Amino acid sequence: MNIKLWYRTFDYYLILPVLFLLTTSFVLVYSASPVIAQRLSLSQDYFIRRHTIYIVLSLITLVTFSFLNTKAILNLSFAYFTLFTILMAVVIMLGIEAKGAKRWLHIAKISIQPSEFMRPFFSVVVASILASGMKFKMHISIIIFLLVFTLLLLQPDFSMSMLLTYSFIGQMFAVCIPLLYFLCIAGIVTTGVTAAYLCFPHIKERIYNFLFFVQRNNFQVTKSLEAFKRGQLTGVGPGEGNVKIFLPDCHTDFVFSVLAEEFGLIMCLATLILFGIISARLLYIVYRENELFNMLAIFGISIQFITQFIINIGVTLNVFPTTGITLPLLSYGGSSLLSSSIALGIILSFSRNQTIALNFRERIMLAPCSGFETAHNCRNIRF
C-alpha cells in the first residue's frame, strides 16, 4: 500500500473526533480508576496503565484495518466471525458468571468478550450475503442472525442482542425486505425478548425497576443522576467527583456520569457533538456509497455505533433501563475499544476506496478526449 496515497485519502472528518474522544477517555479513566483499584486492592495505576495499552492497540488496529482492501476485509470478516461465534458458545459452557451473565472468556491473564469482537464482522458477513446473487440469501441471513441472537440470550447479553437486532433489521430494510420476512424477524425477536424477561430474574428486575422507579432499587442510576446535578455547568473539577466512590462501574458503563460531575454540562455537550459528528459522517459515507455490499456493511456497523452510545448515555440519564453496555471510545475495556476500532477501521477502508474512486472519476471527466478512438474509450469507462 502506498503510504502517501493512504495519507491523502484518509477520512480526517471521521478520525479527528475519534482521537478527541480517546483523549477524553484517557482523562476520565485516569480520574475514576484509582478509587476502583483501591477497592479491589490493586495498585492505583493498574487500570490507567492497561487503558493506555488498550488505546495504543486500538489506534494500531484502526490504522491496520483502514489499509485493507474490500476483499481482505471480507475474508477476515468471515474468518473472525466464525472464530468469535464459536468462542461465544464456549463462553456459555466455560465462562465465569458475573452479575448473572457469562460474557467473558479468561485465557491466561487476559479476559475477552467474544460478542464484542463478533459484532462488526457480523454486519460485514450479513452484508456480503444480502448483496450476493445466491439463492435463499434472505433465509441464510436470518439463520445466521438467529444463531447469534440465541447465543447472546443464552449468556445472557440482552443489550448486545438488541444492538445486533437493530443492525440486522436496518440492513434488511436497506435491501427492501419483503413484509413476510419482517414479520418473521419481529416475531422471533418478540419471542426472544419475552423469554429473556421471564427466564432471567436480573433482566426482569431491571425492567421493573425502570418502569416503577424506586431509589433503593436503582442505586446506580440514582447516583448517576446526582452526579449530573452536582456537576452543573462547569463541573466540580478533575478528580473531585464523588460518583466514582459509589459506582463500581464508573469507569465502564457509567463513565459519562464521571464526565458530567467533574467537567459539567459544557463538556457533556461537547462530547455529544463529537459523537454527532462521527454519526453524521458515518451516514454520509453510507449515502455516497454506490456498491451495495459496501453500503450494507457500513450501514450495519453505523447503526451499532449510533445505537450503542445513545443507549449508554440514555441509561445514565434514566431514559432506558440499565443494560451493562459500554460507551464506545470512552469506557474502559480492551474488548470494547478494540471492537470499536475494528468497526471504524473497516468504515475508514471503505471511505478511502470511495475517495479514490471519486478522484479517479474526476480525472477522467476532466481529461480531454482527442480522436475518435479516445473519445469512444472515454464514453465506455465503467465505475
- Per residue in 216-274, pLDDT (tens digit) is 567 788 888 889 999 889 888 888 888 888 887 788 888 999 999 999 999 999 999 99
User: Between vectors from CA 41 to CA 40 and to CA 44, what angle results, nearest 5°?
Assistant: 95
pLDDT confidence of residue 277: 95
CB 17 within 8 A of CB 225: no
CB 248 within 8 A of CB 39: yes
Q: How far apart are CA 111 and CA 94, in angstroms?
A: 13
For residue 22, the enclosing domain spans 3-379
- Per residue in 340-383, pLDDT (tens digit) is 999 999 999 988 876 666 665 656 665 555 444 444 444 444 33
Provide the grid cell at 154: 443464552
| Reported pTM | 0.87
Q: How far apart are CA 372 and CA 121, in angstroms?
A: 48
Residue appearing with cell numbers 477520512: 11
- Is the previous residue joined to 156 through a cis bond, with omega within 30 degrees of 0? yes
pLDDT confidence of residue 370: 46
pLDDT confidence of residue 297: 94
pLDDT confidence of residue 246: 81
pLDDT confidence of residue 38: 84
pLDDT confidence of residue 217: 63
Provide the grid cell at 310: 445513545
Q: Provide the number of structural domains found in the chain.
A: 1
Q: How far apart are CA 134 and CA 128, in angstroms?
A: 10
pLDDT confidence of residue 206: 75
Contacts for 5 with CB less than 8 Å, ≥ 6 apart: 356
pLDDT confidence of residue 215: 56
CB 274 within 8 A of CB 65: no
pLDDT confidence of residue 182: 78
Phi and psi for 370 in degrees, rounded to 5?
A: -110, 130
User: Quick one: how far is CA 236 from the chain centroid?
Assistant: 30
Residues of the chain with pLDDT under 70: 1-2, 5, 98-100, 202, 213-217, 354-383
Length of the chain: 383
